[in-house]
Amino acid sequence: MVIQGLVALMAARRGYIQMAWLILLVPLGLSLLLVIGFLVLFAIGIS
């Protein structure tokens, strides 16, 4: 996460704001999907 933050900062300094957002948001989105999927499977397992 620290490396991604540094890369995003460097990209932002060069004007690639959208690139920085992608670099930050893609891993966040993927981890969020994993968590949601895990919770859904967990809920199905309980019921």
In tens, the pLDDT along 5-43 reads 787 777 667 777 777 778 888 888 999 999 999 999 999
Asked if 30 contacts 7 with a C-beta cutoff of 8 angstroms, the reply is no
- Coil, strand, or helix at residue 26? helix
pTM equals 0.49
Instruction: Tell me how far apart the 2 most distant CA atoms of the chain are, in Å.
Output: 51
Can you give the C-alpha Rg of the chain in angstroms?
16
Is residue 4 pLDDT above 90, yes or no? no
pLDDT at 1: 66
